[in-house]
Amino acid sequence: MIALYRSAVLSVKVVIAGCGDIGEALARHLKERGDEVVVLDRDDRVCERLSRMGIKAVKGDVTDPHLISEVGVAEADVFLALTGSDDVNLVSAILAKHHGAKRVIVRVENPVYAEACRMVGLTELCSPAEATALRIDAAIHGFKLADIITLGERYVDVEHLEVEEGSELAWIKVKAAQGKLPKDCYLAFVASRDGGVKLPDPNLTLEPGDVLVLIRRRRG
């Protein structure tokens, strides 16, 4: 899930490194909203297709420091590393951060690379696989997350609830905890005390120190 927080009026400049299915869909969406979008990709056909859509596309290697500098990353509000390769995304994100991008969001699937990102100060990570799993799980349980979370169009409130030692949530399974959570809330995921993030499997046991991330449709 990629969230680009925006003003209701001002457009933003977004640089997207890698234009697969996700990058292209996001580029089209942002262009339609009036944002300034620059896409970097090494495929001539991709760049030509984007150019026909009116999206600025620059052919090149997203791990090339000169390319990252030349496309004006320093003036970008957001840099997104969205190639299908974790190591390429890590390198391009580090370069973007070095060249002054205000925000850097990194697509990463492998937990080892996710930890590497955090070690170098890249904390805004997205995993399409986990996001898809979360949305499917939400749909199965009747909470239409896909209907209320989009890029800036609808919103949810996010609440955090820590599991304390001796509380009624400690050492019970998620399926037993559901009835003890605030009304109208959906348990999105569990942040464990060791820094991991887990989907709320019904048989997952909640431990003291875990943080439950709850979402609810914003009222009004």
The phi, psi pair for 9, rounded to 5°, reads: -120, -50
Domains of the chain: 13-126 (3.40.50.720), 137-217 (3.30.70.1450)
Share of the chain above pLDDT 70, in %: 77
Query: Average pLDDT for residues 121-140, to the nearest whole number?
Result: 71
Q: Are 82 and 107 in contact (CB under 8 A)?
A: yes
Query: Average pLDDT for residues 2-20, to the nearest whole number?
Result: 68
**Bigger pLDDT: 182 vs 180:** 180
What is the C-alpha to C-alpha distance for residues 45 and 56, in angstroms, rounded to an integer? 13
What is the C-alpha to C-alpha distance for residues 67 and 61, in angstroms, rounded to an integer? 7
The structure's pTM equals 0.60
Q: Which residues, including other chains, have CB under 8 Å from residue 131's CB and lie 6 or more apart?
A: 1
pLDDT bracket for residue 4 (50, 70, 90): very low
Q: Are 15 and 38 in contact (CB under 8 A)?
A: yes
What is the C-alpha to C-alpha distance for residues 138 and 122, in angstroms, rounded to an integer? 28
Q: State residue 186's pLDDT score.
A: 76
Exposure string of 24-38, with b = 16+ CB inside 10 Å and e = fewer, is bebbeebbeeebbbb
**Bigger pLDDT: 119 vs 134:** 119
> What single letter denotes the amino acid at residue 85?
S
- The residue to which tokens 């304390």 are assigned: 164
